[in-house]
Amino acid sequence: MKTLVVYYSRSGHTKKIAEEISNKIKCDIEEIIDTKNRKGIIGWLKSGRDAHSRKLTTINEIRNDPSKYDVVAIGTPIWAGLMAPAIRTYINQNKGKFKNVGFFCTCGSSGEIMTFEDMEDYADITPLSKLVIKSKDFQTNYEDKLKEFIKGIK
Ligand SMILES: Cc1cc2nc3c(=O)[nH]c(=O)nc-3n(C[C@H](O)[C@H](O)[C@H](O)COP(=O)(O)O)c2cc1C
């Protein structure tokens, strides 16, 4: 199975998980870059508002065509109980190109049910596997969760 890991990360958590997945599978990885400045407290507030209103954003051009992969694992931080605008935009621009998907997200404590539903509805595809890593998981060992997710998308 040819797999691509695609993710957006504002502060590094989702990036860490994306890199661990791609290192374990030994597959391609692509970071989605949001051109909007989301730094600082103003960026945080705008980000929450944009995510809540399901707004799209502008992202840099992608390097990897998702239609060339058997599985695309898509990762996002949870913002206001939903996916980040950069991932919404990525899905919007590539809808119909996904053969199979896996969804993963990172969050403080909650929001994964609505986020995964939102991603599934928006991409119009049922994921093979889903993974959520919460703040408390980063303090402990989430190896088993990671393995389970990878088993699901393989
Ligand atoms: C604008 C904003 C909204 C957030 N909303 C939620 C939320 O609804 N639920 C939650 O558990 N965490 C929430 N968080 C925390 C992030 O989901 C969490 O820190 C995540 O791991 C960040 O991923 P990143 O480091 O890849 O950007 C929010 C963070 C930001 C910046």
pLDDT at 141 over 90: no
Which H or E element spans position 78? Answer: strand 71-79
Nearest-CA residue for atom 22 of ligand 1: 77
pLDDT value at residue 154: 87
Pocket test for ligand 1, best of 37, 79, 132 (most atoms within 8 A of CB): 79
44 Cα nearest atom in ligand 1: 1
CA of 1 from ligand 1 middle (Å) equals 31
Mean pLDDT for 50-65 is 98
Could you give all domains of the chain from N- to C-terminal order, each with its CATH number?
Answer: 3-149 (3.40.50.360)
Mean pLDDT for 86-90 is 98
Cβ–Cβ contacts within 10 Å for residue 94, how many? 17
- Ligand 1 binding residues, C-beta < 6 A: 9-15, 44, 47-48, 77-81, 106-111
Dump pLDDT digits (tens) for 104-133.
999 999 999 999 999 999 999 999 999 999
| Cα–Cα dist 92/20, whole Å | 26
CA of 107 from ligand 1 middle (Å) equals 5
| Cα–Cα dist 7/17, whole Å | 9
DSSP assignments along 32-65, one per residue = --B-S---HHHHHHHHHHHHHTT----BPPPSS-
| Cα–Cα dist 26/83, whole Å | 26
Nearest to 154 by CA among 6, 14, 21, 40: 21
